[in-house]
Amino acid sequence: METIRRLLIRGARILNPARGEDYVGNILIEGDRVSAVSENLYDDNAEVIEAKGLVAVPGFVDLHVHLRDPGFTDKEDIHTGCRAAAAGGVTSLLCMPNTKPAIDNVDTVHYILEEAKTADAHVYVAAAITKGLQGTELCDLKALREAGAMALSDDGRPVVDTTCLVEAMCRAPELGMIVAAHCEDLFLAKKWYLNEGETSAELGLPGVPAAAEDCGTAREIAVAAAYDVPVHICHVSTKTSAALIRDAKARGVKVTAETAPHYLLMTDRELLKKDADYRMNPPLRAEADRLAMIEAVKDGTIDVIATDHAPHTVEEKSDFLKAPNGSIGMETSFAGAYTALVKTGILTLGELVEKMSVRPAQILGIEAGVIGAGQTADIVLIDENEEWVVDPDKLHGKSRNTPFKGMTLQGKVKVTVCGGRVVYNEL
């Protein structure tokens, strides 16, 4: 879409948690920046979006996205992924490195950043910690940072060699990067289809024990504590991992963490449907784990709601046992989180925006998460009362593997403005 030179968002409830603001007003955008925010603001030369009854919040920042580009563009590419992001109010995202080739070299970083210049969201790159994501040989971290990567991760796999993990975590702060850790003990995980427990027993299928995630989480926390360096824990799904992170934070360890909406709304009982769209890594867990995730979000143990958006083709997901793990999530992230946390009274809308915009922006170290004069014009208009049924065929990315299909969610993104451009409009 063409850039709108002057845009006036009029009559919205402006909810700006980073500055403690909550009032009805107008937002004037010029080019890619917010030029003014005020209760009484007019511009006869601006295009107007009438936003009465809607809430204006800073664009969401998703710290965990698989764009599949390069190498797997039958599943998703940078542009389709960012269209899905826009439909979900995600204006900034961190893409993971398990592409083909992996994001373990300067050329691939350059390719992604160049392609993303015309996409409908700001794309930030998580480069690989180890070559080929094999977990044993460190990449040239300095070169990757100089190429534009903002984070380091071997997501999809843990860093097998702990010495590589230690070096990456120690060097990342000096380079101005974060380490996003996929916590899993591969020896415990082995071959599995779902969470180990009552459901796996009923289906007669091998399950992955929660301990596989917990042991990985404990290792990353131990490194952060021993070397006094930060680490961000990806896709937390177990009650023990949440307890480990809570304890570490209480001891002053520099650890932050994320979970995803599907871990807040679903359990492994969904796998009784034998539908591979409910298979992801880490897997949906037991009810006790789901409740523990909600408590961890509520008490601040979990800093961020992210998606682990992982597209796969319909053909790949058609076989329950052979399908790869992963589910899409950017278009449903706000509504799923709102339904689980705000509709139920666990968080306020402002607290949810804090976890979906303000905190992830702070952790990644990017200009986002706030509405204010001079700031990048990344703004989402939402209707927090609208209920809608998730129809996979109406989603905007290439893939349809959503575990939220058929669910009624509350909270709807109506307009997304990214860098001053209206990239999604449902009004």
Task: Tell me the C-alpha distance between 342 and 382, whole Å.
Answer: 14
Task: Tell me the C-alpha distance between 243 and 327, whole Å.
Answer: 26
| β-strands 47-50, 33-38 pairing | unpaired
The residue among 209, 213, 267, 268 whose CA lies nearest residue 244 is: 213
SS3 383: strand
Task: Tell me the C-alpha distance between 144 and 104, whole Å.
Answer: 8
Rounded to 10 deg, the angle between the 239-250 and 210-227 helix axes is 10
> In the annotation, is 308 catalytic?
yes
Task: Tell me the C-alpha distance between 227 and 166, whole Å.
Answer: 8
- What six digits make up the tokens of 69? 């580009």
CB neighbour class for 222 (10 Å; exposed up to 12, middle 13-18, buried from 19): middle
Task: Tell me the C-alpha distance between 43 and 299, whole Å.
Answer: 43
The residue among 261, 375, 329 whose CA lies nearest residue 84 is: 329
Q: What is the DSSP string of 252-266?
A: T--EEEEE-HHHHH-
- What six digits make up the tokens of 205? 């299928």
Task: Tell me the C-alpha distance between 81 and 162, whole Å.
Answer: 32
Residues contacting residue 326 through CB under 8 Å, at least 6 positions apart: 66, 279, 280, 281, 308, 310, 311, 312, 401
How far apart, in Å, are the Cα atoms of 68 and each of 78, 178, 255, 271, 309? Answer: 8, 21, 28, 25, 10
- What six digits make up the tokens of 60? 């969401």
* DSSP secondary structure code for residue 342 in this structure: I
> Of 120, 277, 303, 308, which is the active-site residue?
308
Amino acid at 16: N
Positions marked active-site = 308
